[in-house]
């Protein structure tokens, strides 16, 4: 220990005192992120990528809808009349037995999950809803999706998705690209946050609404930063203007001035500790969280104050109907968030796991989300925002062509549908295909990370340039952009 006479202080102590205060944290974090911090500046608060695209982006933000439980592709965006034609017959009794058995993908994967008898002996279950050709493109969309069907000329539907998890941990796999047995890895929202940084330093850049997967299915792993660091995880947001960030509320009795002084003290103390322990990622994330919490407490309530919107906009999103109100509020808030510079908004909707009573289940779920999602697409388009906002609608897997419990469908990871819109993608296209009964993805097959790669590509990011020392990725982690749907 050295003494420093004549008022001199150790450089690290000086930085802790004057460089890590409340204002200094904000300035330091922004300068470090922008790559202009001086050599005498405090250590960066994050080890993240400095932010910015690798090449010219087509999109600035992503709104990512995810249907938990597994939406039936057969009753949404991939009509299969052959299922009706041979309804009541088993796959073994139908003309499609050999197509299923001869598939190398089936031999490698399906037997492991379900076994040959279960897959072949299940009776084909007829479609529970009709389809209509919609828009100028004439793409068939289920009658359960009439409002989204009105937007079909803006959609790029991918009918040939596949994954490997036959249980609900597929929720984790879709967002990270890895099976739950591989452990936890960064989610697509976290990679976006890590790669691009902030467009608005007063708002979180990765927002999550609608809950998320349960503990059995990966939990917060579907929107977690994993080894990228906790600062890249999704921030859960509620739509209560009085308390939109439950973890960051100062309490009803605390004034703004009091809260600011509390945060200044916390940041001063944590800043000192941050200088003393510069390699502690959790410490740096906590320092940033305190600073960001104050700014968000000032900015987020305005974003979720949906009463600022017109009655016509409320009706467009379905806020005037109890059945559509929840998804309508989430969707309208998502538009307001990306309008203000939020990079990635992830919206979950639960309840699609229709092992029985599929018709009742999907009728209810589709009624709840169809109009709000279409409302978002229409609103973005009329505001000139759809071109720079990439909207993704996805689900963990599809559902079997055969019946379960007589009036439902089982989980089905071997072929299913997702769609994307805006963000420089083509509209009015249906890419890829499943076989005639919707069992296998057979044409232009895409693993879930191809969706990730397409999203990152439109944001101007090359996932191979987002490497983190000490964390080896597999080839399948990167995926491949689906160039056939890119304009």
Confidence tier at 275 by pLDDT (50, 70, 90)? low
Predicted confidence at residue 42, as pLDDT, reads: 30
**Overall number of domains in the chain:** 2
Instruction: Answer whether 347's CB lies under 8 Å from 239's CB.
Output: no
The separation between CA 60 and the C-alpha centre of its own chain, rounded to angstroms, equals 15
Tell me if 192 is assigned to some domain: yes
> In terms of domains, do 392 and 275 share one?
no
> In terms of domains, do 157 and 79 share one?
yes
User: For residue 304, how many C-alpha atoms fall within 13 Å in the half-sphere facing its CB?
Assistant: 21
Tell me if 52 is assigned to some domain: no
**Which of 303, 322, 341 is where one domain is finished?**
303
pLDDT at 396 over 60: yes
CA-nearest of 428, 430, 432 to 151 is 428
Tell me if 281 is assigned to some domain: yes
- The count of other CB atoms within 10 Å of the CB of residue 295 is 16
Phi/psi at 286 (5° precision): -65, -40
pLDDT at 18 over 50: no
- Which helix (H) or strand (E) segment holds residue 112: the answer is helix 111-113
User: For residue 335, how many C-alpha atoms fall within 13 Å in the half-sphere facing its CB?
Assistant: 27
pTM comes to: 0.82
Tell me if 2 is assigned to some domain: no
Lowest mean pLDDT among 15-24, 110-119, 313-322: 15-24
> In terms of domains, do 389 and 473 share one?
yes
Tell me if 218 is assigned to some domain: yes
For the segment 322-362, what is each residue's pLDDT rounded down to a tens digit? 999 999 999 999 999 999 999 999 999 999 999 999 999 99
Tell me if 50 is assigned to some domain: no
> In terms of domains, do 269 and 169 share one?
no
Instruction: Answer whether 484's CB lies under 8 Å from 87's CB.
Output: no
Give dist(CA 175, CA 184) in Å, integer.
11
SS3 152: helix
Instruction: Answer whether 465's CB lies under 8 Å from 202's CB.
Output: no
Tell me if 147 is assigned to some domain: yes
**Which of 274, 303, 332 is where one domain is finished?**
303
> In terms of domains, do 67 and 172 share one?
yes
Instruction: Answer whether 237's CB lies under 8 Å from 209's CB.
Output: yes
> In terms of domains, do 294 and 316 share one?
no
Angle among Cα 388, 394, 399 to the nearest 5 degrees reads 160
CATH number at residue 95: 3.40.720
Confidence tier at 425 by pLDDT (50, 70, 90)? very high
> In terms of domains, do 107 and 88 share one?
yes
Tell me if 1 is assigned to some domain: no
> In terms of domains, do 277 and 341 share one?
no
> In terms of domains, do 98 and 204 share one?
yes
> In terms of domains, do 361 and 461 share one?
yes
Q: How confident is the model over 181-186, as a mean pLDDT? A: 91
> In terms of domains, do 40 and 185 share one?
no
> In terms of domains, do 353 and 420 share one?
yes
Please give the residue range of the domain that contains residue 282.
10-44+256-303
DSSP 26-95: HHHHHHHHTT---TTSPPPS--S-----SS--S-SEEEEEEETT---GGGTT---HHHHHTTTSBTTTST
For the segment 224-269, what is each residue's pLDDT rounded down to a tens digit? 999 999 889 998 888 876 666 655 555 555 555 665 676 667 667 6
């Amino acid at each position: 220990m050295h003494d420093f006479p004549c008022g001199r202080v150790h450089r690290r102590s000086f930085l802790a005192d004057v460089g890590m205060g409340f204002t200094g944290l904000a300035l330091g974090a922004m300068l470090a992120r922008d790559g202009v911090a001086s050599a005498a500046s405090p250590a960066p608060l994050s080890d993240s990528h400095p932010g910015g695209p690798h090449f010219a982006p087509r999109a600035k933000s992503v709104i990512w809808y995810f249907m938990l439980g597994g939406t039936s592709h057969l009753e949404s965006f991939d009509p299969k009349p052959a299922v009706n034609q041979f309804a009541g017959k088993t796959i073994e009794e139908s003309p499609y037995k050999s197509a299923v058995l001869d598939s190398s993908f089936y031999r490698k994967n399906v037997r492991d999950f379900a076994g040959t008898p279960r897959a072949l002996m299940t009776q084909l279950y007829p479609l529970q809803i009709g389809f209509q050709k919609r828009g100028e493109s004439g793409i068939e969309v289920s009658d359960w999706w009439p409002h989204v069907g009105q937007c079909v000329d803006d959609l790029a539907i991918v009918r040939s998705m596949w994954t490997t998890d036959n249980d609900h941990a597929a929720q984790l796999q879709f967002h990270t690209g890895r099976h739950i047995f591989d452990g936890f890895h960064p989610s697509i929202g976290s990679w976006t946050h890590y790669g691009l940084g902030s467009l608005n330093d007063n708002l979180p850049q990765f927002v999550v609404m609608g809950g998320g997967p349960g503990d059995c299915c990966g939990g917060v792993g579907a929107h977690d930063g994993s080894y990228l660091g906790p600062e890249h995880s999704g921030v859960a947001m509620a739509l209560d203007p009085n308390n939109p960030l439950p973890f960051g509320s100062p309490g009803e009795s605390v004034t703004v001035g009091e809260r600011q002084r509390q945060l200044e003290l916390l940041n001063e103390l944590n800043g000192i500790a941050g200088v003393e322990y510069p390699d502690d990622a959790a410490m740096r994330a906590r320092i940033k969280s305190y600073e960001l919490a104050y700014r968000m407490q000032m900015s987020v309530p305005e974003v979720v104050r949906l009463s600022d919107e017109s009655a016509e906009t409320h009706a467009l999103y379905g806020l005037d109907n109890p059945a559509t109100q929840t998804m309508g509020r989430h969707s309208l808030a998502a538009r307001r968030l990306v309008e203000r510079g939020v990079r990635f908004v992830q919206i979950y909707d639960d309840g699609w796991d229709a092992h029985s009573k599929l018709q009742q289940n999907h009728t209810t779920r589709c009624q709840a989300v169809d109009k709000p999602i279409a409302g978002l697409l229409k609103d973005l388009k009329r505001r000139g925002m759809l071109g720079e906002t990439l909207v993704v609608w996805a689900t963990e897997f599809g559902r079997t062509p055969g019946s379960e419990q007589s009036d439902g469908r089982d989980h089905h990871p071997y072929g299913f549908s997702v769609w994307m819109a805006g963000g420089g993608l083509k509209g009015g296209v249906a890419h890829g295909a499943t076989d005639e009964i919707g069992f296998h993805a057979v044409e232009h097959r895409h693993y879930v990370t191809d969706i990730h790669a397409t999203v990152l590509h439109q944001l101007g990011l090359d996932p191979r340039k987002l490497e983190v020392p000490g964390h080896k990725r597999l080839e399948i982690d990167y995926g491949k952009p689906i160039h056939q749907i890119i304009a």
